[in-house]
Structure 1
Amino acid sequence: MNTLRAYDINIVGLDNKRYEYDFTSGDAFFAALEQDLIQKGNVQTHLILDKSETMIRLAFHITGAVEQICDRSLDEYDEPVDTQQTMLLKFGDHNEELSDEIELIERNTATVNIARYIFEFISLSLPMKRLHPRFRDEDDEIDDEQNGKVIYRSDAEKTNEDDQPAIDPRWAALRKLSDN
């Protein structure tokens, strides 16, 4: 947990103005978080903290790369990370997460640890389908050819030379009823 102490920001003595911080997170950062999604990586975080009387606005810009394992080949590869996210910490009488972007913190809170926010924003920026870059080109070509649509065709339904599908006799009978 000592590794994560570097991500503590003392907010008690801060004036109501803008502050900027830079953090570098390596393998020790991801190991200290005790999670299985990311084991290794190197990311830089530029944080702009705007403090006011009622809230703190945290604007994160995170860049770098994290090591991932390809779902298809189980090869390790570096997934680039470049994300910008905002978090609002409103002062209140208790701690509560109101939404993904807004949290209440107690007025007497001395420090805010931003390690959890950095990890969550990195995790959200990663693709659901983890593919090594050499497979991405193949998938892009397939998507371009099909334009995202899968078309099923059965040649057994065609009976005429004009490539017109055969009409189901039940529909033909219903059509005769509607013509009357």
Structure 2
Amino acid sequence: MNELRAYDINIVGLDSKRYEYDFTSDDAFFAALDQPLIEKGHVRTHLVLDKSETMIRLDFHITGTVEQTCDRSLDCYDEEVDTQQTMLLKFGDHNEELSDEIELIERSTATVNVARYIFEFISLSLPMKRLHPRFRDEDDQDDESNGKLIYQSDPGTEAGSDEQQQDIDPRWAALRKLNDN
């Protein structure tokens, strides 16, 4: 937990104006959070804190790399992180998370620890499918060629006999009319 104290911002003595902070997070940061998603990495966070009478606006710009494990090969690789996110902390009578971007904090709150926000924003910027860069070109080509699969019978058999048209169940014919629209 001592590692995370570096991310405390004392908001009690701050005037209503704009402040800027810079944080560097490395392997010790991710280990202190005790989570399995990211174990190693090196990211820099530039935080702009804009305090007013009713709220605090936190603008994060996070850049760097985090180590990920490829879902396909289980090889480790560095994933680039570059994200900009905003968090609003509104002063209220109790602590409550109103939405993903807005939280209520008590007026008597002395410090705000931004470590949790930094980690959440890094996690949100990572792709769901963790692929080593050497597999990404292959995956992109597969997605383009298999974008949509359409089955179509041979055009010669479709224009064939009237007998085939009469054998079609009327329920399927009604569905086919919807498909033709």
**Alignment RMSD:** 2.1
TM-score normalised to structure 2 length: 0.87
Letter in 1 for 2:168: R
Question: Where does residue 68 of structure 2 map in the other structure?
Answer: 68
> Residue 54 of structure 1 corresponds to which residue in structure 2?
54
In structure 2, the residue corresponding to 1:83 is in which secondary structure?
strand
Unpaired segments ≥5 residues, structure 1? 176-180
In structure 2, what is the equivalent of residue 178 of structure 1?
Answer: none
What does residue 128 of structure 1 align with?
Answer: 128
Q: Corresponding residue for 1:11?
A: 11
Q: Which residue of 2 aligns with 1:164?
A: 158
Question: What is aligned with 2:178?
Answer: none
Consecutive unaligned residues of structure 2, counting only runs of 5 or more, are 174-181
Equivalenced residue count is 169
Matched, 1:22 2:25: no
Deviation at 1:163? 5.2
- Give the structure-1-normalised TM-score: 0.87
Instruction: Identify the residue that residue 94 of structure 1 maps to in structure 2.
Output: 94
Aligned to 2:150: 151
Q: What is the deviation of 1:167?
A: 4.3
Q: Mark the CA change 1:46 to 1:163 in structure 2 (over 3 Å): closer, same or farther.
A: farther
Other structure's SS at 1:170 match: coil
Deviation at 1:25, TM superposition (A): 0.2
SS in 1 for 2:38: coil
- Alpha-carbon distance between aligned partners in 1 of 2:126 and 2:72, rounded to the nearest angstrom: 16
Separation in 2, partners of 1:145, 1:100: 36
Percent of paired sites with the same residue: 77
For 1:168 and 1:43, locate their aligned partners in 2 and report how far apart those are by CA, in whole Å: 68
Q: What per-residue deviation string (whole Å, max 9, x for no partner) do you get for residues 13-51 of structure 1? A: 000000000000000000000100000000000000000
Structure 2 equivalent of residue 116 of structure 1:
116
Aligned residue identity for 1:89: L
Instruction: Note closer, same or farther for the CA distance 1:53–1:152 as it changes in structure 2 (3 Å cut).
Output: same
1:50 and 1:70 map into 2 onto residues whose CA distance is: 39
Q: How much does 1:57 deviate?
A: 0.1
